[in-house]
Amino acid sequence: MARVCRVSIFFLFFSFVLAISSSESDPSPAGAGAEEEFVLTLDASNFSDTVGKSSFIVVEFYAPWCGHCKNLAPEYEKAASILSKHDPPVSLAKVDANDEVNKGLAGEYDVKGFPTLKILRDGGKSIQEYKGPREADGIVEYLKRQVGPASLEIKSAEDATTLVNGKIVIVGVFSKFQGEEFENFTALAEKLRSDYSFGHTLNAGILPQGDSTVNRPVVRLFKPFDELVVDFQDFHMDAMEKFVEEASVPILTFYNKDPSNHPYVIKFFNSPNAKALLFLNVSGEHFEAFKSKYHDIAKNYKGKGVSFLLGDIEASQGAFQYFGLKDDQVPLIIIQTNDGQKYLKQNLEPDHIAPWLKEYMDGSLKPFKKSEPIPEVNNEPVKIVVADNLHDVVFSSGKNVLLEFYAPWCGHCKKLAPILDEVAVSFENEADVVIAKIDATSNDIPSDVFEVQGYPTLYFSSASGNLVQYDGINSKEDIIDFVQKNRDTVVQSDSVKDEL
């Protein structure tokens, strides 16, 4: 894979929060200069050896250019130093996944973005995603729980309150810690331990809230929102897992700077549903009216293929950038479907939401497309394309078009810019070749035509409409060769009309 800046809505959502939390935290990493490093550095030469000997090791796959990895590094090191004294030992390691020699490892562990953290147990035989916090104390607390038993026995009311403290906790209530139900529950706890906390008890009376006179065995899920407690009595593995997944999604996901909401935001983005996002100022005067109306709507739409999020604009700058929104448009609601369509209503009032959603469900809303204005002057060698003229320039002009998808913040794109300029200059006298670029952060890209997973991405559309992605080396000569090889010499031919 070429050198690209990776992008996902998820990272944009969190970039603001991460920047805040890292600037507030203690900036001094454990040990300056020559002191011992607690995080192990692994590479392809010693990875399997080290992992093979470890009963429990956490591996961070990072890239040197990745900003979130840099924010994590001092926290990770601090956590490693604290955990080095833990019994049983918890090792923290890192792998530079950008390094050629380690690319195979990154592939093997399904690394799609940076940083990716994996928990490896039993000499690497069991692999789980790290789903914990990203600051030192949170990492330590989460990993201590991961290295112990998957489900903790609850023997007293104190045990219960320690375990059930504002998180999702799943407790199995049994009449004995034996039998198939208990075994299935334990297997579920093992499987989902990186996502949730688990406990088991013989005594429902010591659990907070809820009815203590239960028919045992029962699975009781505690959550800090909605109904607070839900019971379930089917001990088939699949049924239990489905129950846990469904019961742990809030009716309304709340997005602000509070990190304790973030696991639910992750669930929200991982859901297969269409996503409704309402953004407003939570300190503003109409907040309560919006929240209660929106919550009722979310409840009514449960099970109908739409998930709901309420976001504070103070925390949502990344999302605003992603959608190309401005603060003066709030309160606003946006729906994003899985095929990339977007629907928007801005300057909302609480009573607007329900009728607008009904229109969406009826299919009578028109999608909205984010586009910069079509430039009036466009006489630089590299032409500027925007969403509103992309189709005209690339597919209807009958020309050979090389189009770069870039992001203004992307360093690899900045490096490519002068090279692309030279390429454009070299084709300046050939009217049938256009070298162009589009700011993919300010313009919607038709995802059914172009697959843009990182920046820069280059596509070439020949005069006859043959579309190919360039994934060679970003040198002037290589790009020119690529254009020469793929261009059609036909201009204004019938084949162009056939495409339209």
Calculate the CA dihedral of residues 102, 126, 167, 320 and round it to 10 degrees: 30
In 363-450, where does DSSP find H-type helix?
A: 387-394, 411-426
Q: Is 69 annotated as catalytic?
A: yes
Separation between Cα atoms, residue 358 and residue 274, nearest integer Å: 14
Reading phi first (left if > 0) and then psi (alpha if -120 to 50, else beta), residue 228 is in left
Q: Is 66 annotated as catalytic?
A: yes
In 203-344, where does DSSP find H-type helix?
A: 237-247, 262-270, 287-300, 317-323
Stretch that binds ligand NAG, among 2-10, 41-49, 429-437, 452-460 (CB under 6 A): 41-49
45 versus 429: smaller Cβ distance to ligand NAG? 45
151 versus 461: smaller Cβ distance to ligand NAG? 151
245 versus 314: smaller Cβ distance to ligand NAG? 314
Separation between Cα atoms, residue 255 and residue 278, nearest integer Å: 10
39 binds ligand NAG (CB under 6 A): no
What sign for the dihedral angle of Cα 348, 351, 354, 359?
negative
376 binds ligand NAG (CB under 6 A): no
CB of 320 to ligand NAG, least distance (A): 11
Binding mask 334-353 for ligand NAG (x = CB under 6 A): --------------------
102 versus 443: smaller Cβ distance to ligand NAG? 102
CB of 239 to ligand NAG, least distance (A): 8
313 binds ligand NAG (CB under 6 A): yes
CB of 319 to ligand NAG, least distance (A): 14
Catalytic, out of 5, 57, 58, 69 = 69
178 binds ligand NAG (CB under 6 A): no
180 binds ligand NAG (CB under 6 A): yes
Q: How many CB atoms lie within 10 A of CB 476?
A: 15
Separation between Cα atoms, residue 404 and residue 60, nearest integer Å: 31
Q: Which residues make Cβ contacts (< 8 Å) with residue 54, sequence separation at least 6?
A: 91, 120, 123, 124
What sign for the dihedral angle of Cα 243, 245, 246, 251?
positive
Query: Which of 321, 327, 340 has the alpha carbon at shortest distance from 275?
Result: 340
41 versus 492: smaller Cβ distance to ligand NAG? 41
Query: Which of 133, 19, 135 has the alpha carbon at shortest distance from 68?
Result: 19
DSSP 24: H
240 versus 445: smaller Cβ distance to ligand NAG? 240
181 binds ligand NAG (CB under 6 A): yes
314 binds ligand NAG (CB under 6 A): yes
Select from 13, 56, 76, 235 the one that contacts ligand NAG (CB under 6 A): 235
Report whether 493 contacts 463 (CB < 8 A): yes
Binding mask 242-261 for ligand NAG (x = CB under 6 A): --------------------
50 binds ligand NAG (CB under 6 A): yes
237 versus 468: smaller Cβ distance to ligand NAG? 237
Joined tokens for residue 494: 């019938």
Q: Is 5 annotated as catalytic?
A: no
CB of 396 to ligand NAG, least distance (A): 42
Catalytic, out of 79, 410, 440, 463 = 410
213 binds ligand NAG (CB under 6 A): no
Report whether 76 contacts 139 (CB < 8 A): yes
284 binds ligand NAG (CB under 6 A): yes
Helix (H), strand (E) at residue 497: helix 494-499
426 binds ligand NAG (CB under 6 A): no
Question: What is the set of active-site residues?
Answer: 66, 69, 410, 413
Which residues are at the interface with ligand NAG (CB under 6 A)?
Answer: 40-43, 45-46, 50, 180-181, 184, 235-238, 281, 283-284, 313-314, 327
